[in-house]
Amino acid sequence: MSCTETLREQGYRMTPQRRMILSAIHGSDHHISAEEIYEQIHVKYPQVNISTVYRTLELLKELGLVTETDLGGGKFCYHSVEKGHHHHLICRKCGRIFELDEAVLKPVEGTILRKYGFRPDLSHLAVFGNCVECRK
């Protein structure tokens, strides 16, 4: 199902602003911040307000179309859920970011569900620590 269909299905409307925000997210091959999305749109359409960007990201998160992660730089980063399930390992010393396969945390999901009856959302985690290089 397309993003537009998902929106419409839940009673939300597709607006030019939302189209531009989605296109910025889908067009970015890395994570993108709210500020970066805003700047990209602002060049062509300066009347678009940054609060619309934040509100739209909030909505896209809720609809499960976009994931939000705190990668430690003081800003949240976003990407399309279509880009696959993975987590991030972030080095506290050098700041480099590595991908962590979803499978590594899968067993824990079951353990938490059985032990606490709690279904954790382990779909896009940021895990801080120290990388190979920085541990030497």
| Residues near DNA, by CB under 7 A | 7-8, 11-18, 33-35, 47-52, 54-56, 58, 74-76
CB 124 within 8 A of CB 69: yes
Least Å from the CB of residue 62 to DNA: 11
* End-to-end Cα spacing for the chain: 47
Site string for its own copies, 2-21 (x = CB under 8 A): --------------------
Site string for Zn ion, 60-99 (x = CB under 5 A): -------------------------------x-xx-----
| CA separation, residue 117 to residues 1, 91, 114, 120 (Å) | 31, 32, 6, 9
Site string for its own copies, 15-54 (x = CB under 8 A): ----------------------------------------
Least Å from the CB of residue 46 to its own copies: 29
Tell me which residue of 77, 52, 53 sits closest to 67, measured CA to CA. Answer: 77
Maximum CA extent, the chain: 54
> Judged by CB under 5 A, does residue 19 bind Zn ion?
no
Which residue type is seen at 116? Y
133 by Cβ neighbours in 10 Å (0-12 / 13-18 / 19+) ranks as exposed
Quick one: 108 or 128, whose CB is closer to DNA? 128
